[in-house]
Structures are given as C-alpha cells and as structure tokens.
Structure 1
Amino acid sequence: MGLMDVDKTPMRDNTPKRVEELWFEDGGLVVQAEQSLFRVYRGILAARSSVFKDMLAFTQPPDAEIIDGSTVIRLPDTAEDVTYFFRAIFDSSFFETYPSKVCFDSVLSIARLSHKYSVDYLLHRALVHLSYEFPTTLSAFDERNIASPDFQNIRSTNLQDIMLTHESISAHLAVIQLSRRVNALWLLPLAFYQLAPAHKETIHDCLQCSAFATHPAELDGDDQILLLTFSILLSRMEHDALDFLHCTDDNTQCAGGNQCSRARLRAITQARNHMTTSTGPNPLEISKVYCPDIWDGLLETCCAACFTHLEETHDEARQKIWDKLPDLCGLPPWSELEKMKAEALD
C-alpha cells in the first residue's frame, strides 16, 4: 500500500515557465532564475546595470543555450527577487518614488538586487521608501505613524493591545539584515527600537527567525547580542519617560494646586498600566500621538500653566531618549547618520 501511494503521488513539474508579464517577444535575452524564464531587452538591462553590461559583453560560447533565438543566462537569485527587480526596470509605473505606495516585499527584493547588480537609481528609490518608514528624527517618527502610506502590513507601533506579529518581527529583521548589506546604517536604530521585546516569546521569535516570506531575515551573532542589550537598556528608559509627571516643583505658575497633583497621579497610574500591558519597552509612547487618553483625558484637567510645563518637559525627555537610540546600537549620533543618509540619497 505504501509503495502504491508513492507511485500515485504526482511528480513536481520542474519545467521552466515563462513569466508572461516579463516575456517580451522582441527581447533579445532570456534570463532564468530558479524555474522562471524572463525574456527581456539586452540593451536596456546593460544601460541600467554596469554588472549586466559587463556580463553581456563576454562572447557567448558556441554551445550556449538558446531559447527562441535568444541567449540564455542563469541567475543565482530567487525568481521572486528577479521578478520584482525586472518589473522595476522594464515597467516605469511599477516601482515609483515616495510617496507612491509600494509593496514591502518588492522594496526588499529591489534593494537587494539593485545593490548586487549596481542599479543605483533603484537602490536609491528603495532606500528612500525605507527611510520614511525608519526615519532619523523624532518629529518624522511621530508623523510617520499618522500618515505614511508605506508598509502598513508590517508596521510595529507597540500600542496598547497590539501584539508584535511574526510578520512584523521578521520584516524588521529583514530590514536590519538589508541595512547591514547595503550600508544604510541610519535605518538601524528605529528597526531595533521597534523590535525591543519584553517577553521571552518575542525574544525567541527574533532569535530564531530566518525569513520574512521569501526574504532573508536572520540576525547574526553580534546583532542578536545587540538586540538583547538594546531591549534591556530601553526598558530602563521607560522610567525616564515618566519623570515629567513628577517634576513640577519648578513650575511656580501653577494655579490648580491639588487638582493638578491629582491629575498627575492618575496619569502616572494610567501610564504605568499602559506600559505593563504593552508588548515591550517603548519609552517614546507616552505622548499625545500614541496616548491621547492620558493627555486629553487626564492631564487636560491641570491648569494651563501646568499642562504647558508638562508638555515642554516631556518633549525634552522624549528628545533625549530619541538621541540615545543610535548609541544603543553602537552607531554614531543622529547628526552623522543623517549625513550618511544625505550622501546616499541626495
């Protein structure tokens, strides 16, 4: 019975298949990646990529494989990566500049192969999309969580009652791996920040993950240690984030007295409960953008002078926390990372 079952199992069809949207009848080059075939234009590919230009300059041997009159070259990349990459090259409407909405998978594929095959304008475009999702300023970080059109499916905001999904975890790991590969180090602080887990299940997922969909998403040993250290240090910063609710003694303009004190005590309790139920350390979260219930529901009962004082003090505290993120990753300060970004993207 077992032998008969094996015999009846249909064989997998390994015959190469055309990718119809990237099979141009007048194309002069056939590219194979895994079991996918693409017929594309040699001249356009050579013009876009110096690597392909050099590759195609070699004289083909007499026994070179030919399909429909076109020379065949094989790439070691995945079919999915090559499909996204070629679509970006041969279809100008497929992968447009920010703020056009793009697929996160396509950004990873295009960035990776653009770097590998030296297609600078596509690598630049992919890094711009990623840079809006992983910004270098606190104001851009707050604005991104309100209005950014990109990557909603993988975004990890760590808001209360929202758990880090496996998809979000692996996506951020893929960004870290890609950032290391293409030297886009300015993406790393926020990528690590949004991964900083507090419970062992999330830590386990981060350390054991190897792929986001079909994309590599695995931390090397140094980055695994960095993630654990980052999480511990970030947890300590949560206390700094709440100091603004205690430090009001220097506000001599208070007109509310006990009413302001009670509002701050209720806000402290609410904020601590919020942090306890959150998925992990997130000291930047206790702000108007993420916790309107604390600000609009509790602190608005303070007098105007106290509310303004609390707002200014907290803004300063959040900025100090933000400024420390690159150092937690062993990177230079934001000012230097922004120069690196400007050199790469301008």
Structure 2
Amino acid sequence: MLSTPNTSQDAWLETLSNVQIATDPATTSDMPRNRDVELWFEDGNLVLVAGDTEFKVYRGPLIAHSDVFKDMLSLPQPGEDRQPGHLARDFCPVIPLYDSPDDLRYVLRVFVPGSSLRAGHFEPSFDEISACIRIGHKYQIEDLVKRNTEYLQKFYPADFDAYVAARRHRPKRFKPIHAIGVVNLARLTGTQSLLPAALMECCTLGPEIVQGFKRADGTAEVLSPEDLGRCFIGRARMAQASARIAHQMFRQTVARGCRHPACCIRVLQRLLNELGDARIELVSNLDWCIPWAGYVDEKDEERELCGKCYKMLEEERPRHLQREVWQILPTMMGVSVEQWGEKGKDDA
C-alpha cells in the first residue's frame, strides 16, 4: 500500500541519506546482478542498481531533469582522483537505488538518447504511468510527473463533458481496478482533481476493492482505510443519484416545440410507470451516467413520442440531470476540489 507521502524535501533528504556511491558495481553488494538487456550502454557514465539489475546510462539527462540526481552526483566521489592521470570523464559512479527494476526501467527509457519526455503517439500501460509518477516524484523529475499526471487527467477529469467523452475512449491497457492506483497517485502528488472520478470508479468495483491489485514487483496497491470508507459511503450515494435521475427523466414536461403535447405527456407517464418493471440497473445502477435511449426505444416501440421529445430523452434531459450529479460528485465522494466542474480546472 502506498504510505502517506513525504514532502518533496523529506523524500529528497531520505534519498540522499541512503546513497552509497562506488566506482565498481562489484563493491556495492554481494547480491548476484544482471546487466539490463535494454538499458546498458557501454559508453554510459552512470550505473544505477535496482534489486538484481544494473542499468548503465548517461548522467547528463538525469542531472538536467532531476535535482535529486544532480545533488547525488555532486557528492564527493570515492576514488575519483586517486589514480595518476585519471580523467573525470572516465569516472563511472555506481549508485544503488531502492526501487523496483521494472519501475526504474520505465523511467530510464524516457532518458534514452533520441527520446523526449512523452513524444509522439503514446498509449501506456497503467504500470508505466504509475512508475513514472512515483519514481518521478521521489527523484523530483517534475516534467515527468506533470506529463503523466496530465495523461491521467484526460480520463479522470474535472469537467463533465470531458468525462463523458473519455468514457468512450478509455486506454485499452487500463482496467477498472487500476482506479485504486489512480487514487493513490492523486494522494501522492496532491492532484485533488483526480479523486472524484477515480473514487467513483472504485465504488463500482466488487470485493476486489478491498484486496486491490499487485504491481509487477509484487507490491500491493490498495486504498487507504479512509478512502475505502469513502467508497462504502459513496456507493450508497451513487445508487441514490441513479434513482433520482430515473424518476426525473420522465417528469411530465415536454420538449420545447413539442408537436403533440398530450400524446407525449401520456408516453412520459407510461415510461415512468414502467420503471418498476425495467431492469434494476437502470433505477439503482451505481453508474448513474448510463444512456437512456435503450429503455426509451424498448418502451416506445411504436415511436409515439415526437422527434423533439425523443431527442430530449435521448440526450438533453439525461445530460442535464447527470451534470447536476457531477457538480456534487466531490461531496458524494467525501473530498474537496476547488473550482470543480469548470473547464480547464483539472490542475486544481
């Protein structure tokens, strides 16, 4: 489980205090290690050791983007000037890091020559996004954290219209259970705007909400007890919101410009009366953002509704009712987000 995050300064001090720089990989540990197949460059000038894996990379990009690595490598380097004729450019420090090799590999790929911080078409796995944010936060690689957080904000936005659009284009490699990880990343980075939509998705999970999931290195990703409690309360509030939307959908107010008010009012009343016979998920579904066109088509097969009233029930009225719920979503999930629901406020 992700523990309560340290401040950036605390994390920086903790990282530096654990640094042990050597000039020979064999001197840092007796543990058998393997050179990473992908990220071992013979002309590299920095060896990073994570678990049983060694990475030989270039220090320049890391120093340029990370104050922590910059400060690590500014520490006195043992053996750097002990041999006559030693050149600084030949010195290759070895730094043991207390990170998962898989996590570190995701981050180091960003700094491979010819790459940039998220360039071109990009459809990452959740593991990659999570690693980049967690490792980026630990080593103060601010641009890496920012860009990956912004990627999450596309799918867990503060704006309702953006959320509706994102539901149709979720990343193929993201699963509902990963919402637990999104909540934890939001807590780690202080990105409050991610929390309402991520917690809402957690509320739709089954028993797996308690166990969470495991990262590639076996670390358990679970909700904190406080956020788990928010989800238990949130589930009830989401069901209430669905029930309210269901009953407000067919109130006897016809669309502006309705061609047959008397007929359409009669159909609206019938649609309301038959809700009790409808599929239960329409009335008390935890997902209160579901479309209603299917129910209307099923119950109005003869299409007695005029075109304007049908369009109202298909798009306008459900979106209006759902938007009202969206505006109070932070309260439903037990969190506070400034300027929630405003376009362009996903950095709140």
**Could you say which TM-score interval applies, normalised by the shorter chain?**
0.7 to 0.9
Equivalent position to 2:320, from 312, 316, 320:
316
Matches of 2:253 and 2:342, distance apart in 1:
37
Residue 69 of structure 2 is matched in structure 1 by: 52
Residue 163 of structure 1 is matched in structure 2 by: none
Matches of 1:141 and 1:127, distance apart in 2:
16
State the shift of 1:21 in Å.
1.8
Equivalent position to 1:283, from 275, 279, 288:
288
Q: Does 1:211 align with 2:223?
A: no
Q: Between Structure 1 and Structure 2, which shows a larger proportion of helix residues?
A: 1
TM-score w.r.t. structure 1 length? 0.76
The answer as to whether partners of 1:31 and 1:39 remain within 8 angstroms in 2 is: yes
Matches of 2:117 and 2:281, distance apart in 1:
39
The answer as to whether partners of 2:246 and 2:283 remain within 8 angstroms in 1 is: no
Q: Does 1:329 align with 2:330?
A: no
State the shift of 1:61 in Å.
3.0
User: Deviations along 1:84-141, whole A, 9 cap, x unmatched?
Assistant: 0100122554862586322221111001111111111111110111011111112111
What SS does the aligned partner of 1:70 have? coil
Quick check: 257-266 or 237-246, which moved more?
257-266
Matches of 2:40 and 2:275, distance apart in 1:
62
- Aligned-pair Cα RMSD in Å: 3.3
What SS does the aligned partner of 1:247 have? coil
The answer as to whether partners of 2:158 and 2:345 remain within 8 angstroms in 1 is: no
Shift of the 296–234 alpha-carbon distance from structure 1 to 2, 3 Å rule, reads same
Unaligned runs of 5+ in 2: 1-29, 81-89
Matches of 1:284 and 1:224, distance apart in 2:
22
State the shift of 1:307 in Å.
2.5
Superposed, 1:160-309 pairs within 5 Å as: 168-169=176-177, 171-197=178-204, 202=206, 204-209=207-212, 211-214=214-217, 216-249=220-253, 253=258, 255=260, 257-258=262-263, 261-262=266-267, 265-266=270-271, 269=275, 272-273=278-279, 275=281, 281-285=286-290, 287=291, 291-295=292-296, 298=299, 301=303, 302-309=305-312
TM-score w.r.t. structure 2 length? 0.76
State the shift of 1:15 in Å.
2.0
Matches of 1:337 and 1:115, distance apart in 2:
27
What SS does the aligned partner of 1:38 have? strand
Greater RCO, CA 8 A, separation 6+: 2
- Report the residue type matching 1:323 in the other structure: Q
Unaligned runs of 5+ in 1: 1-12, 156-167
Matches of 2:280 and 2:114, distance apart in 1:
46
Percent identity, aligned pairs only? 25
The answer as to whether partners of 1:45 and 1:53 remain within 8 angstroms in 2 is: yes
State the shift of 1:342 in Å.
5.5
The answer as to whether partners of 2:250 and 2:271 remain within 8 angstroms in 1 is: no
Superposed, 1:56-205 pairs within 5 Å as: 56-62=73-79, 70-90=92-112, 93=115, 96=118, 100-148=122-170, 151-155=171-175, 168-169=176-177, 171-197=178-204, 202=206, 204-205=207-208
- Report the residue type matching 2:309 in the other structure: C
User: Deviations along 1:286-312, whole A, 9 cap, x unmatched?
Assistant: x2xxx5423555568211343244343
How many residues were matched structurally?
304
Residue 161 of structure 1 is matched in structure 2 by: none
Shift of the 318–97 alpha-carbon distance from structure 1 to 2, 3 Å rule, reads farther
The answer as to whether partners of 2:133 and 2:144 remain within 8 angstroms in 1 is: yes
State the shift of 1:247 in Å.
0.7
Residue 13 of structure 2 is matched in structure 1 by: none
